Structure 1
Amino acid sequence: MKTIVLFGAGKSASVLIKYLIKESEINNWKFIIADANKQLIEAKTGGSKFAEAVQLDITNDIAREKVIQRAHVVISIMPPALHFLIAKDCVEWRKHLLTASYLDDKMKSLRDEINHRKLLFLCEMGLDPGIDHMSAMKIIDDIKSKGGTITSFKSHCGGLIAPESDNNPWHYKISWNPRNVVLAGNAGAVYLEHGEEKTISYEHLFDEANTVKVDELEPLAYYPNRDSLSYIPVYKLHDAKTFVRTTLRYSSFFAGWNAIVDAGLTNDKHTINAAGLTFKKWSESILPHVNDSNKNLLEFLGLFEDTAVPSTATSSADILQHLLETKLAMQPTDKDMIVMLHEFVYELNGEHKQLQSSLVVKGEDNVHTAMAKTVGLPLGIAAKIILNGTLTLTGLHIPIVKEIYEPVLE
């Protein structure tokens, strides 16, 4: 019996688990979900006889290897820092591996062994990165096949709250890993604009809320996302004078978050002593940055409350994460929303052309979210087409080649 092993049953796993249970029933596959919280797994599997819940400490080498040995395909939606533990075992036991996280240097160090053992390690197979790569490359390959030259590419993507569930001044609620929300953008950004390389430090990333319009939605603001330049050779867009990948938010988010970043409240490096510390005392560094445009946002988040911070907090980021999880939590009937927009400028047959492609997906509730759907389904579909023989590619990849993006997008 062919077996899929999934590590992680958190926020992004609900739709993936539902999809793979259905596929396992259809194809008579075994589906194993491993997580530190067995009850969480069982709540999402609904008692399916095709799904097996395994309580597991991911850092326990013996227990982890024992589960991986049972797999044909392994999927990891664990925090990125833990992927490498799983990846080494997958190489050792000759198992294919899928993740939604960015392809990093640690994973690249396994490339030769992956190739030698004829395995497929597919990274960046979620939403952003993931669906953004696949949908962009489909258009890029199409334009190039007609003889076109792309001179500008802008790719925008964000996890937002749907308008019908938008009832706070941040116009934002947590639909994915809250720690990632706290640390988003902390590496700054580098991108290409009108032929010039632009570098923005973390401290200035949220200074300006430039906007785009998508369908019938209110204008959305964006900030450059990480290192866009590294994707120019990946997308083979060497003629582009503008190339930028961004993250979408509503404009109001920038007003509040810029002050939080300037005050150093996202810091996860410096150790703090939570004993006797209140939110009001902790957030004192933000006072010089409070103004009419952000005061109500900061108050809503609870920064000035004279109550104790969590006793378990060891960094400022821990405290901020607690506030995000409590003040910006999705309620059971809330719907989140994924928005993606690609903007192309290209030359074809001597003519200057523009093209936009957008995607808007809404969730069902606070469990079956649009984020879970768009992160999980690409991973699930990839696992399916590996097991049914549609995808036979081997090596270390991200989803930018037709062999991957065509069957997944279909």
Structure 2
Amino acid sequence: MKKILLFGAGKSATSLIRYLLGVTATRGWQLVVAESNLPLAESKIAGHPQARAVALDVTREEDRDALVAGADLVISLLPPALHYGVALSCLANGKHLLTASYLDDSIRALEDSIREKGLFFLCEMGLDPGIDHMSALQFIREIEGTGGRIHSFRSHTGGLVAPESDDNPWHYKISWNPRNVVLAGSAGARYRENGMIVVKDHSRLFEEPGRVTMPGIGELAWYPNRDSLSYIPLYGLEPAATFIRTTLRYPDFCRGWAPIVRAGLTDDKTPVDTDNLSYAVWSAPLLSFVDASIRGQLEYLGCFDPDLVPAAALSSADILQHLLETRLAMQPADKDMIVMIHELGFVREGKEHVATSTLVVKGEDHLHTAMARTVGLPLGIAAVLVLEQKITLRGLHIPIVPAIYEPVMQELERQGICFNSLQY
């Protein structure tokens, strides 16, 4: 009997757990969900006979190792900083590991050990990163296979509120980790535009966002992701004059978020004295950046309220996160929406062409979100393929090789995650 161990049962785990419960039911496997919040994990598995929930403090090495030792494959949906400990346990116990997070230096440093032990570690196997890599590479190889020489690559992905649930001036609701929303763009961004390397720091990312029109949805804004340049050789697009990976939002979001960033209210490093501190006093630096066009957005968020900020807050980022969680929360019947757009400029037989590949996925409600579905399904599908020996690679990977992305994308399509392509 195969046993899958999942660390984490938060927002992004809902669809993954549902998929894996279906897998275990048909194959006689077992799913173990390890989570510090045991009632949360128990609610997600809902008494399924092939699953069990376990309370765990993942920082306790002995307890973590004991769980890993009993598994055939491990999936981590923990915050990125906690993946390293899980990775060490997987190495010590000879277990494969999948995560949806960016491949960072700490995991990369384990590459030789992973290969020597004959293990398969797969990072960046979610939505963005994840489905974006896999779908883009399929699209790129398709164009190149018909003689196209690609000179421009733009890839946009966003977790948005669905139009039918869009009822606030931010045109945004929290469908994933709110901390990631607060800190989005904090590392700045690097990309290539018309042959030039462009570097932007955090304060400038939201100031002049790009624009893209999505049929049936309208105009969306984009801001560049952290380091697009590192993916140029991985995608085999060294000759491309333009290469950029971005995050999508509705334009009003960027318009309102830019002054919040400039005012330093996303800072998670500087301690804040919350004793008798009101939101209005905390947000005072905003006033020099605010005009009438966005004041309503900031008032809706509660930035100028006379109420006291949470006493437990340690930084401005904590205070802002509390506002997002309370003012931009999804209601039970709300639906979110994932939009992904790949735009390729290329030359074929001496003529210029543009090709687009687009994806729209809507959630069911505030728990079964499009975000959870598109983050979780790639992990679940890859786990099954590894355990059934349909993916036999070893070593440290992200999903940029056909042996990974071809079978995963086929199963995603069977699960209703389908792209539409257009060339002109």
TM-score range, shorter chain: over 0.9
Match of 2:288 in 1: 288
Amino acid at match of 1:53: A
Distance 2:269 2:20 in 1: 38
Q: Which residue pairs with 1:390 in the alignment?
A: 390
* Equivalence for 1:214: 214
Partner deviation per Cα, 1:76-121 (whole Å, 9 max, x = no partner): 0100000000011111111110000001111110100111111110
Partner of 2:233: 233
CA shift, 1:210, in A, is 2.1
Secondary structure of 2:342's partner?
strand
Distance in 2, matches of 1:406 and 1:214, equals: 26
After superposition, residues 11-410 of structure 1 pair within 5 angstroms as 11-410=11-410
CA distance in structure 2 between the aligned counterparts of 1:131 and 1:309, rounded to whole angstroms: 38
Q: Tell me the amino acid that sits aligned with residue 51 of structure 1.
A: A
CA distance in 1, matches of 2:185, 2:147: 36
* Counterpart code for 2:168: N
Q: Aligned letter for 1:403?
A: A
The C-alpha deviation readout for 1:31-61, integer Å capped at 9, x for no partner, is 0000001100111111001111000001010
Structure 1 CA distance, aligned partners of 2:21 and 2:399? 24
Q: Give a deviation string over 1:368-389, Cα, whole Å, max 9, x none.
A: 0000000000000000101111
Once the two structures are TM-superposed, the CA of residue 214 in structure 1 deviates from its matched residue by: 1.3
Q: Deviations over 1:283-322 (max 9, x none)?
A: 1111111101210000000011101100100101000000
CA contact (8 A) 1:127 1:374 kept: yes
Displacement of 1:346 in angstroms is 1.1
**TM-score, normalized by length of structure 2?**
0.96
Output one character per residue of 1:194-227: Cα deviation in whole Å (capped at 9) or x when no partner. Answer: 0000111111111113210112102100001101
1:148-175, Cα deviation, whole Å (9 max, x unpaired): 2210000000000000000000000000
Aligned residue in 1 for 2:419: none
1:257-305 deviation per Cα after TM superposition (whole angstroms, max 9, x unaligned)? 0010010000000011111111111111111111012100000000111
Letter in 1 for 2:9: A
- Where 2:292 maps in the other structure, the secondary structure is coil
Hey, which bits of structure 1, 4+ residues long, moved more than 3 A?
none
Paired with 2:216 and 2:307, the residues of 1 have a C-alpha distance of 41
Could you tell me how far apart the structure 2 residues matched to 1:124 and 1:209 are? 25
3-state DSSP class of the match of 2:132? helix
Distance 1:52 1:187 in 2: 38
Give the AA of the match of 1:114.
I
Distance 1:387 1:24 in 2: 12
Please report how far the alpha carbon of residue 353 of structure 1 lies from its aligned counterpart in structure 2 after TM superposition: 1.6
Q: Is the 8 A contact 1:29 1:50 kept in 2?
A: yes
Distance in 1 of aligned mates of 2:381 and 2:63: 27
SS at match of 2:65: helix
Secondary structure of the structure 1 residue equivalent to 2:9: coil
The letter of the residue matching 2:273 is: N
Q: How many Å apart are 1:146 and its aligned residue?
A: 2.9
Corresponding residue SS for 2:218: coil
SS in structure 1 at match of 2:312: coil
Q: Tell me by how many angstroms 1:351 deviates.
A: 2.4
2 CA distance for matches of 1:109 and 1:2? 29
More moved, 320-329 vs 197-206: 197-206
Amino acid at match of 1:279: Y
**Could you say what secondary structure the match of 1:213 adopts?**
strand
The alignment partner of 2:171 has SS state of coil
- Distance apart, 1:347 and its partner CA: 1.6
2: CA distance, partners of 1:51 / 1:275: 45
Shifted more, 297-306 versus 349-358: the winner is 349-358
Structure 1: 5+ residue runs without aligned partners? none
1:339 aligns to what SS in structure 2? strand
Percentage of matched positions with identical amino acids: 56
1:276 counterpart letter in structure 2: N
Query: Aligned partners of 1:120, 1:155: CA distance in 2, in Å?
Result: 28
Deviation per CA, 1:316-365, whole angstroms, max 9, x where unpaired?
Answer: 10000000000000000000000000000112222222100000000000
Counterparts of 2:46 and 2:232, CA distance in 1: 44
CA contact (8 A) 1:255 1:293 kept: no
Give me the whole-angstrom Cα distance separating, in 1, the residues matched to 2:181 and 2:305. 22
The aligned amino acid for 2:163 is P
Q: Please identify, of 331-340 and 213-222, the stretch whose mean Cα deviation from structure 2 is larger.
A: 213-222
How far residue 22 of structure 1 moved from its aligned partner, in angstroms, is 0.6
